[in-house]
Amino acid sequence: MRRQDFAYELPPELIAQRPPSERSASRMLVLDSASGDAADRSIRDLPGFLRPGDLLVLNDTRVVPARLLGTKPSGGRVEILLERALEANEALAQVSASKPIREGLRIDTAGGAVVVIAREEAMWRIALPQPALEFFERWGAVPLPPYIHRAADASDRERYQSIFARRPGAVAAPTASLHFDTQLSAALAARGVERAFVTLHVGAGTFQPVRVEELAQHTMHAESVLVGAATCAAIARTRAAGGRVVAVGTTVVRALESAALAGGDGGLAPWSGDTRLFITPGFRFRVSDMLLTNFHLPESTLLMLVCAFAGQQPVMAAYRHAVQARYRFFSYGDAMLLTRSNP
């Protein structure tokens, strides 16, 4: 398949620049992948589309304030975007400036000097004054996505973070979880919908465009995943009782399917490691039956995953409907609920 197969026209004013007034005030487009019918609903209607005994699986990663500004000895401005914490006060990061970055560069920041050690693929290994997560938590700013054209403010510290966030390490939010508040969570629990968690630390690479025309030539960025025994057991119980596994976000789909692939013929089992799983149409899903997700960028790997899940033609038609119906797109935007096209 080709990148252009996943293109669509999006008016810039539909890209949400701020979150809705309340987390659960978003709209939700419900797609029947079998018929292609799309229904306009609210995220507060989600409990009505689920059944007692269904299992919601959410990503409990926590966004780190991963953006930090500094200066070179010459006075030039440098931006550091944390990708991953490493041992011994080191980290992988994107480092950008008006002139090329070089090994040994000292960057002065509000929290002390950061030293560039070496290039590692598209990232730089850097040395920090203290452990990376502690350092960025103290001195960093919320790393809003590049399509949000404003500076992060105090409210983003709370709203660009899921209410389920507990394991720090992400530099971008698992945005499907942003729609959940205590009221929606309570309504789902009252419906008899169970809950389980995985961890996938979303990396800055999630915003990198696909630069090749043939999808088979694209290499995914690596992201750290943890699928624990409790979640595997919850999924097994759900399956045995005839319930459905509902993935909240594409990160959850990638985490579960990566674990299932690692388990081989044995199926889903506890697993941790780095995943570079690139899901495109034709992929055989083993775990998720339904998917709640936001609307994704044209020609993005996330849109390709959604098309693989519910069918390319129904999904692209639903996106055209969403544009016509003036849905809000991307991280702070509205939601979409899909069933798998090949259960």
3-class SS of residue 46: helix
Cα separation, 185 vs 15, in Å, equals: 26
- Residue 329's alpha-carbon distances to 220, 240, 295, in angstroms, are 23, 36, 5
Q: What are phi and psi of 228, to 5 degrees?
A: -90, 170
Structure tokens at 51: 């059944």
Task: Write out the residue limits of the CATH 3.40.1780.10 domain(s) in the chain.
Answer: 3-63+156-339
What is the structure's pLDDT at 216? 86
Judge: domain 67-139, CATH 3.90.1150.60: no
Helical residues (DSSP H) of the chain, grouped into ranges = 46-49, 132-139, 156-159, 182-191, 229-240, 250-263, 301-310, 312-324
* CB proximity list for 321: less than 8 A, separation 6 or greater: 29, 38
β-pair type (55-59, 245-248): parallel
DSSP string for 151-171? ---TTHHHHTS-TT--EEEES
Q: Render each residue's pLDDT in the chain as its tens digit; 343 residues.
A: 899 999 999 999 999 999 999 999 999 999 998 888 999 999 999 999 999 999 999 999 999 999 999 999 999 999 999 999 999 999 999 999 999 999 999 999 999 999 999 999 889 999 999 999 999 999 999 999 999 999 999 899 999 999 999 999 999 999 999 999 999 999 999 999 999 999 999 987 777 788 898 988 888 888 999 999 999 999 999 999 999 999 999 999 999 999 999 988 888 999 999 999 999 999 999 999 999 999 999 999 999 999 999 999 999 999 999 999 999 999 999 999 999 987 6
pLDDT in tens, 145-182: 999 999 999 899 999 999 999 999 999 999 999 999 99
Fold of 3-63+156-339: QueA-like (3.40.1780)
What do you get for the CA distance between the two ends of the chain, in Å?
A: 22
Q: Give residue 123's identity as a one-letter amino acid code.
A: M
3-class SS of residue 333: coil
Answer yes or no: are the C-beta atoms of 139 and 68 closer than 8 Å: yes
State the average pLDDT for the chain: 95
Cα separation, 293 vs 260, in Å, equals: 21
The 8-class DSSP code of residue 50 comes to S
In the Cβ-directed half-sphere of 253, how many Cα atoms lie within 13 Å? 31
Give the predicted TM-score (pTM) of the model: 0.94
Cα separation, 328 vs 19, in Å, equals: 10
In the Cβ-directed half-sphere of 261, how many Cα atoms lie within 13 Å? 16
Task: Write out the residue limits of the CATH 2.40.10.240 domain(s) in the chain.
Answer: 67-139
Beta-bridge mates of residue 304: none
